[in-house]
Structure 1
């Protein structure tokens, strides 16, 4: 197995051009040509189809199949270095999406403190979408995540911590007794979480499904700011119930005709991770919330 040939082939499949691929790696064009020829001889199949314009190409079915395996092989190769670095640094880089973290960490704080693990965690505060990408790429080791679907990636395992629901919210001061329909709800001013959050994607799905359009007067990535504005009766919002657990000054608005997906609170990790007692203890705590 020649990883260099695999890397050449992967980049060639992306750029679809021998010259551009050679330039990317700083090698001659024949180097890429001979690399593809070696792969074709190894597997006894044609892997690319040349096109007549601009030195372009496409993959054969065999090439597409090979590429799917190459992607996994190269990912694992990259993860080797990441895991060796993790073991050397003796600390665990963990994804902490803000809303999920504020819900989960108080539940495990005492156990983390008593096990002297608080200083073993390097927290990374980003959106669940960004953290999932970083986890798959080996940039972080473990992560709390919030998602409307359960992870499908073969190299990831997860523990379901809690299943919550999405809620439309308003200030407890607001009289919402006359809001009975989707149209009534979306006639109100909205303060929304921005496009980086799962809330924005779910809200967009509702907008498309029910053919409504909110009057979004303000967007923010700071859910604390959003909550404070809602409590001050500056507008309605849409958020998972995870964010409003035990928060005073907020009421939920339930519209029976609106069907909403579940919101899964997850602890996610790569299934082939091997570590010391610190990692094992940390994973045990989060897997048994």
Structure 2
């Protein structure tokens, strides 16, 4: 197996051009041609179809099949390098989605401190969607995540920390006794979390299901700002109950015929990660919340 041949083939499949692939890797065009020939000789089958116009191609069925395997092999090659760097740096890069980390970290802070692990964690703060991608690509080692579904990826293991639910919220000073239906709820002004948030995705599904449209007058990626504005009665909002634990000045809006999904708080890591002592301690602490 020649990793470089696989890298050339992957890029060739993307650019559809021998010359563009050669330029990308700063090699001669015959280098790419010979690399492709080695692969076709190795597997005994044609992998590309050359088109009538110059320097263009498409993959054969066998080429498409090979590419699917190459993508996995090259990902594993990248993960090898990432894991070796993790072991050398002796620190753990961990995903901390803002709402979830602010809920979970206080619950394990004393355990992390007593085990001298606080300085071993390099927090990476981003949305759960971005952190999941970084976890699969080896850019981070572990992550807290929030999701409406449990992970299905073969390369990931997870521990369910808590099952929470989504809530529509308003200021505690607001009279919401007249908000008795989905239609009346969505006639109100909304302060929403932005598109990177899982809240936005769930809200879109609710909009489609109930054929309603909120009057969104402001969007933000800062959930604390959103809560502050709601408490001041600037508008309604939609958020997981994780964000409003022990937060005064906010009330939930109850709509009997409104079906809202669960929100799973997860501790997630790659299945093939071999842990050192630090990693094992962290995993044990977060898995046992």
TM over 0.5: same fold?
yes
Which residue number corresponds to residue 276 of structure 1?
276
1:125 CA displacement: 1.0
Q: Are 1:131 and 2:131 counterparts?
A: yes
Matched position secondary structure for 2:135:
helix
Matched position secondary structure for 2:265:
strand
Which residue number corresponds to residue 212 of structure 2?
212
Q: Compare 256-265 and 246-255 and name the one that shifted more.
A: 256-265
1:53 CA displacement: 4.2
Which residue number corresponds to residue 161 of structure 2?
161
Question: How does the TM-score come out when normalised to structure 1?
Answer: 0.96
Q: Compare 132-141 and 218-227 and name the one that shifted more.
A: 132-141
Map residues 3-22 of structure 1 onto 2, 5 A cutoff. Answer: 3-22=3-22
1:57 CA displacement: 2.5
Question: How does the TM-score come out when normalised to structure 2?
Answer: 0.96
Gap regions ≥5 residues in structure 1: none
User: 1:65-101: CA deviations, max 9, x gaps?
Assistant: 2111111111111111111111111111111110000
Which residue number corresponds to residue 67 of structure 1?
67
Which residue number corresponds to residue 107 of structure 1?
107
Q: Are 1:81 and 2:69 counterparts?
A: no
Distance 2:152 2:240 in 1: 22
Which residue number corresponds to residue 266 of structure 1?
266
Distance 2:266 2:285 in 1: 13
Distance 1:204 1:39 in 2: 46
Matched position secondary structure for 1:150:
coil
Gap regions ≥5 residues in structure 2: none
Distance 1:3 1:85 in 2: 20
Distance 2:260 2:4 in 1: 47
Q: Compare 219-228 and 202-211 and name the one that shifted more.
A: 202-211
Which residue number corresponds to residue 52 of structure 2?
52
Distance 1:3 1:165 in 2: 46
1:54 CA displacement: 5.8
1:18 CA displacement: 1.8
